[in-house]
Amino acid sequence: MIHSLFIGGVGMQEVILIALVVLLLFGGKKIPELMKGLGNGVRAFKEGINGSVDDSEESKNKEKD
């Protein structure tokens, strides 16, 4: 028995349908721009998380000195 790799039992037909709807709504030229913006957002989020960890480590080191 093949189990679905997608959450909630979403099959390949549903994924293709969603992709086609997104393509129709945004067009082929707009999708790369959206993905670039999403990537920049994820990168900024990761830098923010890493920055807050680094800031807390620096403040601990300053307290020790």
pLDDT digit string, tens, across residues 34-58: 889 999 999 999 998 888 665 555 5
Residue 44 lies in a domain: yes
- Supply φ then ψ for residue 27, to 5 degrees: 85, 160
Could you tell me the pTM of the whole model?
A: 0.48
pLDDT in tens, 6-39: 567 778 899 899 989 988 888 888 888 888 999 9
CA gap 5, 34 in Å, rounded = 25
Two structure tokens written together for 14: 């549903």
**Residues of the domain holding 42:** 7-64
Give the model's pLDDT for residue 39: 93
pLDDT at res. 10: 78
3 state SS for 13-25: HHHHHHHHHHHHH
Q: In the structure, what pLDDT confidence band is assigned to residue 5 with cuts at 50, 70 and 90? A: low
Q: DSSP code of 3? A: P
How many angstroms separate the CA atoms of 7 and 22, rounded? Answer: 19
Structural domain contains residue 1: no
* In-domain check, residue 26: yes
